Amino acid sequence: MRQSPSGGRTFQVPCTVEIEHTAESLHAHVELEGVEAGPGDCVIVHGAPTGIPFGVRKVFHCHATVTRAGLLGRLRAQIEGYLELTELYEVGFSDGRA
């Protein structure tokens, strides 16, 4: 474990990556083993492919580097998330009459 320039800790953990590219679903999910990522944390997955052929679903076991956000980074991520959410409230709905 080491300290990053942003003030957070950096460490490696094993992870599982599930990638699916089918007619039903197009997604990629990463599950970290024994660690939960929080607001502002940075996760870099090593060794997983960036794409797979159509019609395929695969699971890969690899490693990820997790950098924990410092106090200011967490606060910033939470504020940005709140502001993004409040933008949705500004959308107006009308019946189409001007």
Domain membership of residue 60 (yes or no) is yes
What would the pLDDT profile of 11-59 be if each residue is shown by its tens digit?
A: 999 999 999 999 999 999 999 999 999 999 999 999 999 889 999 999 9
3 sits in the region (left: phi over 0; alpha: psi -120 to 50; else beta) called beta
pLDDT of residue 88: 76
Print the domain residue range for 43.
Answer: 2-89
98 is a domain residue: no
pLDDT at 85: 82
The pair of structure tokens assigned to 71 is: 């106090």
Domain count, the chain: 1
Work out whether strand 56-67 and strand 9-21 pair parallel, antiparallel, or are unpaired.
antiparallel
Residue 95 lies in a domain: no
- From the number of C-beta atoms within 10 Å of its C-beta (0-12, 13-18, 19+), residue 15 rates as buried
* Per-residue pLDDT band at 6 (split at 50, 70, 90): low
